[in-house]
Amino acid sequence: MSLDSYVTLGQSGLRVSPFTLGTMTFGEDFGWGSSPEVSADILAAYLDRGGNSIDTANIYTAGHSERIIGDYFAAHPGVRDGVVLATKFFGNLRPGDPNGGGVGRKGIMQQLENSLRRLRTDYIDLYWVHNFDPRVPIEETLRTLDDLVTAGKIRYVGLSDLPGWKVAEAAVTAKFRSWVPITALQLEYSLLERTIEGELVPAAQALGMGIMPWSPLKNGFLSGKYSSANPATQTRGAIDYFRPPTDAQYVVIDAVNEIAAEIGVSAAAVALSWAQHRPGITSTIIGARTLEQFTANITGLDVVLSDEHRERLDQVSKPKLNFPAEVNQYSSRLQYGGMTVDGVRAEPHQVASLAARAGSGR
């Protein structure tokens, strides 16, 4: 597979590369990103390989990520229209202004205009809701986005990091009102974070939305740099999300490293290949702080895991899902009477066996 083996995003006419370039690392403003020069080199390398999907957000490096991308487009006329450019809104970059962020009409329109200015473009291809405010009616957010599509300012709409119930509400509301539909979900997903399989992946599949995983290497923990014998010792940032792996997570990390050694590729390539080929996934977001990291990550497109390797990874990383996902996995045994339906063989539940012996089916 290559970056120019494009895939259709959800139920839309939008085609994107199987790996999307994430740009949260563009800019050194937070103390750990890439310089503008290195960021431009990574962007150029991605585009040169046929990549066409770029993801950013208004709050990435406090707007600097968007400016770096915009400066690149300005220096390379004609490139912009061949790119699927995505950014996000929600984060407030205006201290003291309660309407500077969020999902209300005033905040959305202000954030969009500022992103357009930083990106040096007239429109956004895919505009992501970066989170949600339970105090703002979903109708206000969706109607505003529909108006922006009508105005030609944005082309498609996606939801990032929303809970399953809010995704369903947004999708159904947009459809009922004949507003612009929800094209895709952007969600954290990796061998170390699979809980979206309980609600969000089935919701996306049922409602016709593509999924773009972010942090498929889980903060670099699946990059091959770490193992139970060489653990991470530092926490990046002040929130629990960036804490070092647990003992249970090191079991998964070690399995990834072992499989990578067996087939002669990087651990990152194994983890990225696994994520990209999971049910419901359209395009996996990859990031890099250096050109070397980018080159290493791109090799994940060339890795085809064997059934045995995939099964090992599936089992060692099997998540504990929220109710009712764990219970509902046995629903076929309750309803199919022990028969094969849609290619799925369902062993009869003990209730059916007891009923048959009691003659209740007659």
**Each residue of 69-86: pLDDT tens digit?**
999 999 999 999 999 999
Whether residue 77 contacts residue 43, with contact meaning beta carbons closer than 8 Å, is answered with no
Instruction: Express each pLDDT in 193-207 by its tens digit.
Output: 999 999 999 999 999
* Cα 40 from Cα 275, distance rounded (Å): 26
Q: Work out the percent of the chain whose per-residue pLDDT is above 70.
A: 94
Segment 259-275 mean pLDDT: 97
Pairwise CA distance, residues 321 & 343, whole Å: 24
CA proximity to 89, closest of 99, 79, 80: 99
Taking each helix axis from N to C end, the angle separating 307-316 and 267-276, rounded to the nearest 10 degrees, works out to 90
Per-residue model confidence as pLDDT tens digits over 105-126: 999 999 999 999 999 999 999 9
- pLDDT, one tens digit per residue, over 211-248 is 999 999 999 999 999 999 998 876 555 556 668 899 99
Q: State yes or no: is 156 an active-site residue.
A: no
Look up residue 89 and give its two tokens.
């809104």
pLDDT at 288: 93
Please identify, in words, the CATH class of the domain defined by 7-323.
alpha beta
- Of 60, 123, 156, 250, catalytic: 60
CB atoms within 10 A of CB 251: 13
Structure tokens at 362: 């007659």
Q: What pLDDT does residue 344 have?
A: 79
What residue spans in the chain does CATH classification 3.20.20.100 cover? 7-323
Mean pLDDT of 10-33: 96
pLDDT value of residue 361: 52
Confidence at residue 350, expressed as pLDDT on a 0 to 100 scale = 60
Q: Is 164 helix (H, G, I), strand (E, B) or coil?
A: helix
How does pLDDT run across 284-294, given as a tens digit for each residue?
Answer: 999 999 999 99
* pLDDT surpassing 70 at residue 347: yes
Does residue 348 register a pLDDT over 80? no
Mean pLDDT of 18-36: 95
What is the DSSP code (8-state) at residue 330? Answer: T
3-state class (DSSP) for residue 16: strand
